[in-house]
Structure 1
Amino acid sequence: MPWSEACGRSYDLIVAASPKGDLRLLRGPHVLIPHGAGFNKSIHGEGSADSASGLDPAYLRRTHDHAPAALHALAHPDQIARLAAADPRAARRAKVIGDLTLERVLASTSLREGYRAALGTGARKLLVLVSTWGPESLVRRHPGLPAQLVAQLPYDEYQLALVVHPNERSLLGTYELTERLAQALDAGLILPDPHEEWASVLIAADALVTDHGSVALYYCAAQDRPVVSVHQGGGELIPGSPMDILLGRIPQLGRAEDIADALRAYRPGPGHTAAQAAFAPAGDAVDRLRTEVYGLLGLAPPACDVTPRLLPSPGPATRVPAAFDVHVATTTAGVRITRYPAGIGPPGHHLAVEHGAAAEKLARSAGLLYRRPLPASAAPVDLAWTADGWTRHALSAYPGCRSAAAVLPSGGCLLRDRGHEQMYAAQVEPRSEGGRVVQIDPAIALSAVHARLVSPQPAPDSHTVMNCLVGARTFRIALRPATDAEAAQVI
């Protein structure tokens, strides 16, 4: 209904997550439920100086009759003490209910593997950046950090996500936000939905980079994994608040180049301590809130049980890089392959480009050009390349390209190097780790084989095995001359 009409009515109950705005114009008993976690911030120029946003006496008695809310639901006993210091009358209506968002997060932790599968994380480490809103937020003070990190962290070892506060998203709008993040999004950055997906991404995360916003407290309550700070001080963070406790005890990230060192410097414990200061023991918040609300309505709660709703699966990155600057290091242990999305950092040993997925300009600059299997054709009369035909065509059509390759549906690869009539077959062996199997993208193996074939070493004339190093893992690649039948495969 229109706001003007809403203000002209009376209600049995009004539920809100904040006492601010024109809430006072709505007539009826008010229930305030937790908004964020910990009451960590004071907003300059808003309400009482130095009062925590959400516990500010300037807003707590702004109902139509200037009475405090009928129920102020809080998440921790200390918050009642803080409320009493600000407004003793309002504190008499406060009760520790718990945090409904935390209940959903904790109920959904067993879905972590499913969330990571939905995100396409795989064996990589998921690093999540979280930003509150306002002038001291991560996206305001460090707008270039997402792009700097995707340029700093190897694509096959890390996946990045950025959680942005809804206020900041609303202020900028979707178009402006995605334009500002274009370079990072093109490199595979995940930008989860601010309603529910952000919490699913937190559960999936391996590490967190935070400002002084309260999202980090939910992450710390669910798991004790690395968290580092980019908060540089200011007037918003309230001394002694849960986020102040956390930020004072975790590593500080000064430059994107230092991210690996900062993550290694984290020691378990501070996150758990800060979460304990923000949340009472979880488990019954939904039941407690339902009991209180039905009591205010003069009704008996339904007999059926109520449980926290599980968080939905997050969506994958909307953009996936199809061209990589590949850095190659030949060691006694094998060939180390480190890939970065093309164009965001220094060039490497070669540019590897997926034909049909990357721009033509990149394809014409490729040292290694490869294609993946196409979807099954529905054409009544089909036309398809053989591996031999396409690799010859690619080397002819792209004179700057040194190697052309096809990834087969089986996961194997066929590669032809310019100057070698022989086509080669490559197959990566899966790696077993504690009951799990780790597999790499065949395109990584193609870069290792390409580096081997263009090196001064003689080309292999029989079956050989080479080691491909990706991060801390080693994968064996079986390399041999391809048979005529393999070269004639339709791709």
Structure 2
Amino acid sequence: MFGLSGETLFRDGVLVPSAFVLSHEEQRERIRRACPEALPAAVVAGDPTFDRLLAGRRWREDYRAALGAADGRRLILVSTTWGPTSLLGRFPEVLPRLLRELPADEYRVVFVAHPNAWHGHGIWQMRSWLASCERAGLVVLPPRSGWQAALVAADHVIGDHGSVTFYGAALGTHTMLGAFPHEDLDPDSPIAAFGRAAVLLDEDRPLAGQLAEDAARHRPDRFAAFTSQLTSVPGGSAAALRTLMYRLMELDEPAGPVRTVPPETPVPVSLSWPARAGIAPLLVTAEGDAAEVRVRRFPAEPCTRAGTGPAGGHLLVDASEPEPRWYEGADVLVRPEPAPGPAAWAERTLSEHGACRIAAAANQADPGAVPALTAAMRAAGLLRLTLHDAPPGFPAEAATAALWHADLAGADLTTPTTVKLHLGTAQATVLIEPLAGRSPE
């Protein structure tokens, strides 16, 4: 209750505000203890922001689709306030670590920063700091926009002492802390009590394991003892505020119902600089046998920057990748956009690229046709990779992982080979067929 004290509410012994709004009866009790003479102006009217979050739950799947999590990925919302005690102030590596530890097809990481961080540092500086993470798949929301919808969409929240974190816990979402400055908060406040109860991430341990461990024991009512003090009138704030406003204006209140508007659909900031290929470089792992394989893909940039990465992974790179370090080091080069002559392109690319083992291009096809690629592979020649039973949005380039693994597993690629491919929560069947022609050695 910042600012609600005798020094700020009174001037020359006179109460300045005609009314000031509290969200919960608990706050009225704190006013009674701290400044009882101000109680006549206190009005408990709930929390309009929380009511918007509640109203938005009907559109959760729409919000998830807008944030790139319509395919069953777990959505992690990372929230920071500003200053040295904030999440990024105390744990600046949290974003690249999440990106390199969590498979890109199983998790979507969304980031929201308090407007003070954007305005204090400037949009250019913030985007510069976040650029490598954005290219690795981080979804960044602009200041003041989209965070409410992202909270409704989230499966996990990681934050600090900011209100976004507390709202996440109040919605029953699995919530953890990356930082929490206990010394800066009123120890009797609900958010301070929440901070003492929530689990703080340990920077010295893998984050993915901690996230999974804490989520496994989470219950929606886990923090209800504290978050129940967020509002005394859940869903009723708009009506209470309208009544108050019309009373202050000395006007008759309209008879019709009050509408609580759900959050707007989030629109992430666009990554326009530096120029990027359609697929960011990925480190790909594949586990299984020659007939069935589980593929996991991790953004390559945060892994290589930290000198870590999944064991046994190969580097998949978009053929339009502008950065030489990625293009020249690729194990697999893909052209995801259909174009004429995929076989000629694949053979030529493999011939010109000494380090590459597989070059694959999407085939042109009629709308509704089964997705297919033509691949050139050293010592195996030309092959067609056809995806069957793939759900909408399934990345066709993932079929190259099935080919890579089938070769390592000793499959006979001179005859048609079928591999069941698991990617995140989705699966598809990849038919690998030899084609006439031979790729360069």
Shared fold by TM > 0.5? yes
Query: Could you list the per-position Cα deviations for residues 158-211 of structure 1 after superposition, in whole angstroms to 9, with x for gaps in the alignment?
Result: 111122111222111111112222222221212212323111111111101121
Aligned CA distance change for structure 1 residues 271 and 357 (closer, same or farther; 3 Å): farther
Q: Work out the CA distance in 2 between the residues paired with 1:84 and 1:475.
A: 63
Amino acid at match of 1:273: A
Deviation at 1:60, TM superposition (A): 2.5
> 1:15-30 maps to which residues of 2 (within 5 A)?
none
Task: Give the whole-Å Cα distance in 2 for the aligned partners of 1:103 and 1:212.
Answer: 20
Aligned to 2:65: 117
- Equivalence for 1:249: 197
Counterparts of residues 311-390 of structure 1 (less than 5 Å): 311-316=263-268, 318-319=270-271, 321-331=279-289, 334-345=292-303, 346=308, 348-373=312-337, 385-390=340-345
Tell me the matched-pair count: 416
Q: Which residue in 1 is equivalent to 2:274?
A: none
Q: Which residue of 444, 452, 455 corresponds with 2:406?
A: 452
In structure 1, distance between residues paired with 2:182 and 2:291: 49
Which residue of 2 is the match for residue 413 of structure 1?
Answer: 373
- In structure 2, distance between residues paired with 1:58 and 1:138: 31
Matches within 5 A, 1:204-219: 204-219=153-168
1:88 is matched with which residue: 19, 36, 57? 36
- Correspondence for 1:274: 226
Task: Tell me, in whole angstroms, the C-alpha distance in 1 between the residues paired with 2:106 and 2:94.
Answer: 18
**1:175-324 → structure 2 map (5 Å cutoff):** 175-222=124-171, 224-255=172-203, 257-265=206-214, 266-268=217-219, 269-316=221-268, 318-319=270-271, 321-324=279-282
Structure 1, 468-477 or 364-373: larger mean CA deviation? 468-477
Distance 1:482 1:115, change over 3 A: farther
TM-score scaled by structure 1? 0.78
Distance 2:164 2:120 in 1: 19
Query: By how many angstroms is 1:322 displaced?
Result: 1.8
> 2:144 is paired with a residue of what secondary structure?
coil
- Tell whether the 8 Å contact from 1:249 to 1:270 is kept in structure 2 after alignment: no
**Equivalent residue of 2:157, what SS?**
strand
Residue 477 (structure 1) aligned to one of 425, 430, 437: 430
Give ranges in structure 1 of 5+ residues lacking alignment: 1-38, 40-52, 375-383, 431-436, 485-491
Tell me if the contact between 2:22 and 2:46 (Cα under 8 Å) persists in the aligned partners.
yes
Output the CA distance in 2 between the equivalents of 1:321 and 1:480. 25
Q: Secondary structure of 2:385's partner?
A: strand
Question: Within 2, Cα distance between the matches of 1:321 and 1:85?
Answer: 59
Q: 1:287 to 1:413 in 2, by over 3 A?
A: same
Question: Structure 1 residue 232: deviation in Å?
Answer: 4.6
> Which 4+ residue blocks in structure 1 deviate beyond 6 angstroms?
none
* Unmatched segments (≥5 aa) in structure 2: 272-277
Q: TM-score, normalised by structure 2?
A: 0.86
Specify the code of the residue in structure 2 equivalent to 1:179: S
Q: Pick closer, same or farther for the CA change 1:182–1:221 going to 2, 3 Å.
A: same
CA distance in 1, matches of 2:92, 2:6: 34
One-letter code aligned to 1:174: I
2:41 is equivalent to residue 77 of structure 1: no
Alpha-carbon shift at residue 360 of structure 1 (Å): 4.1
Q: Is the 8 A contact 2:100 2:299 kept in 1?
A: yes
Q: Distance in 2 between matches of 1:205 and 1:439?
A: 20
Equivalent of residue 425 in structure 1, options 344, 367, 385: 385
CA–CA distance in structure 1, aligned partners of residues 169 and 96 of structure 2: 25
Contact 1:428 1:442 in 2 (8 A): no
Give the SS at the match of 1:344.
helix
Answer yes or no: is the 8 Å Cα contact 1:291–1:301 preserved in 2: yes
Shift of 1:99: 0.8
SS for the counterpart of 2:165 is helix
Provide closer, same or farther for how the CA distance between residues 60 and 481 of structure 1 changes in structure 2, counting only shifts above 3 A: farther
Show the counterpart of 1:154.
103
What do the CA deviations read for 1:26-84 (whole angstroms, capped 9, x no partner)?
Answer: xxxxxxxxxxxxx4xxxxxxxxxxxxx2434432236x985231111111111111122
Contact 1:253 1:259 in 2 (8 A): no
